[in-house]
A and B are shown apart, each in its own frame.
Chain A
Amino acid sequence: MESRILRPTLALYTVLFLLFLYGPMIVLTILSFQSADGGPQFPIREWSVYWYEHLLGFAETSRVSQLPVGDSLLRSIVLAFMTTVVSTVLGVMSAEAFRTRFKGSGPAFYLIILGMMVPGVLVGLGMALLSNTLGIARAWWGTSFVLHVVYTYPFAFLVMLAIFNRFDRTVEEASLSLGVSPAQTFRRVTFPIIFPGVLSAMLFSFTLSYDEFARTLFTAGRDLTLPLAIYGTFSVEIYPNIFAFGVLTTLFSFTLLVIYGLLMKRFTSKASRYSGQEDA
């Protein structure tokens, strides 16, 4: 039987593939512990956390200028938060609209989906041209923000659409016909069902916006967001402080992922308790 050879071969291939995916990150993590006089390559002269201290501003004066992490990090988080709120609200509303068949739903669907297809560099350029012509100052909280929503709203929309597709409408109708007000119905019936979807939509929106860079490049104006600060170092010589930053920002993302996992777990266990009561 071929699968006796095929299965181990494919398993081995998958392991190699994972090595290919993780290799650069592993090397980067190792090199982030380079000593102060070492460069961004092997060998490691001496293991140290110098570049982490350097990144956080604890190191004494050095030949390498510090990464502008503090302010840009704050801007990126605020921007991602704004984007998350707006795109999730828009996504839920639009997906709710798509539960009824209506004329023109096809073009409307593709207009929304286009937002995640259009390359960032193109809408970024268009937005910069538009704000130049209209005399609007470019800023991360304005011109960049609206483009971030253009990008993340389709993701939130698709996630919610998938949730609504699996959602039995009669549950809502039962609540309404029992005389519960629409607002109450949404709070007590609809929202608990769609909440896992909302959480996923928020996670998508936040991470996409937090890391978004092409849409910000032409539209952020003077104040940089975090990805722009990193991009700025591309043109000059790189130092291990970038690597240390990469490790820290990855840890930050994982924290976010763990919070999402915990919320999701807590919620689904609660939901299953309720359904268990129904069965009894």
Chain B
Amino acid sequence: MTALTTDTPSTTTHSPAELREKKDRRRAIALLSPGLLWMTLFMVLPMAMVIYVSFWTQTTFSVNSTLTTASWERFLSSATYLGAIWTTLRIWLIVLIATIVVGYPVALFIGLFVRNKTLQTALLVACVIPFWTSFLIRVIAWRPMLGTEGAINMILMKLGIISEPLTFLLFSEFSVLVGMTQIYCVFMVGPITFMLGRIDISVIEAARDLGASFGTIFRRIILPLSLPGVMVGSIFVSVMVLGEFATAASLSGRKTNLLGNIIVSQVGSLKWAFAAVAGVVLTIIITAVIALALRLVDLRKEM
């Protein structure tokens, strides 16, 4: 009953449409504000704090709020820290390319060549299942695989391909790259498969009927239509790889130091200001990468 009585218009100065629009807007803001408040308090504010603290004064075991650029100067003049920036960028680029190269053919097969919906879903689920194992367990699982007494060395020796175990497999940059590629590949396969699955098969058939080779069809139809998927996948992979530290900590034997590892070790020794500087540098890099990617693809449209 109440619903009926409240709907009666009480003012005549505004049109019902205007009133309704105003009411809708007020409702939207009311519904949205708890979430936005949460994000502001617990994401924006901590990030602002990182920037602020990067200008604090670092003493041996604590920081105080006297503003200085000393931490920045030390960071930017240290070969170790600059090396970490370079390592982070290098590993990010290699892993990004590796996930595209490894993942694209798989997405091509699942998204375009498998036309049976059940099989398609089954294959996608098979790709996602490892995601259900704890991230840290998936990282550590590479140790018995790549170690000098690990599975790969054992198999290669049994087959007589090598006589001595390969030592570069584990506790090297190689193991970090392999581990990251395996862990993040799924985030590339998913979006590309999604975009390929949306291609109207009759377009490809038409091109084939008109005499186009598979190379031409791939170059002119499949690749352009799948590019948004590659971009979305690249954003996922980039964001995750750039903020990584656990894989490097577990598989590189402390030889590979990413910016994330610098932050963790600095916090461990209570050098909050240095950790904050590394954090700001990482933020700048990630912002640049995302900004570049968003320039190439409209995320809101693709979702």
Contact = CB atoms under 8 A, between A and B. Distances in A.
Q: Tell me if chain B binds chain A.
A: yes
Interface of A: 2-3, 6-7, 10-11, 13-14, 17-18, 20-25, 27-28, 31, 40-42, 90-91, 93-94, 96-98, 100, 102-103, 106, 108-109, 111-115, 117-123, 125-130, 132-133, 146-147, 149-150, 153, 157-158, 161-162, 176, 179-182, 207, 211, 213-214, 217-218, 226-227, 230-231, 234, 238, 242-243, 245-246, 249-250, 253-254, 257
- For the complex of A and B, 6 pairs with smallest distance between CB atoms: A119-B243, A126-B46, A24-B141, A246-B137, A97-B31, A10-B109
A250 B132 contact: yes
A129 B141 contact: no
A125 B263 contact: yes
Contacts of A100: 24-25, 27-28
A103 B28 CA distance: 10
Where chain A touches its partner, the secondary structure class is: helix
A122 B282 contact: yes
Contacts of A14: 105-106, 109-110, 123
Interface string B83-114: 00000000000000000001001101110010
B214 A3 contact: yes
A27 B145 contact: yes
A249 B275 CA distance: 33
Given A117-B290, A150-B42, A231 B47 contact: no
B28 A21 contact: no
Nearest to B54: A129
Interface in B45-61: 45-50, 53
Interface stretch (B10-18, B70-78, B149-157, B224-232): B149-157
Interface in B286-303: 286, 290, 299-300, 303
Contacts of A24: 138, 141-142, 144-145, 182
B31 A126 contact: no
Interface residues on B, range: 35 or more
Given A20-B182, A125-B263, A231-B136, A42 B42 contact: no
B49 A130 contact: yes
Contacts of A98: 28, 32
Contacts of B239: 117, 119
A168 B286 CA distance: 38
Interface in B223-248: 235, 239-240, 242-243, 245-246
B171 interface: no
B214 A2 contact: yes
For A27, A40, A108, A122, which residue has the most chain B Cβ atoms within 10 angstroms? A122
A20 B290 CA distance: 29
Contact of B279 (A11, A23, A125, A150): A125
Contact of B45 (A7, A130, A226): A130
A64 to B, nearest CB: 15
A133 B137 contact: no
Nearest to B51: A126
A129 B276 contact: yes
B137 to A, nearest CB: 4
Given A27-B151, A182-B3, A214-B246, A122 B137 contact: no
A112 B140 contact: no
A90 B47 CA distance: 21
B38 A97 contact: no
Interface in B118-136: 123, 126-127, 130, 132-136
Contact of B127 (A21, A161, A249): A21
Contacts of A120: 243
Given A94-B32, A122-B283, A250-B137, A40 B260 contact: no
B43 interface: yes
A153 B102 CA distance: 31
A112 B135 contact: no
Contacts of B126: 18
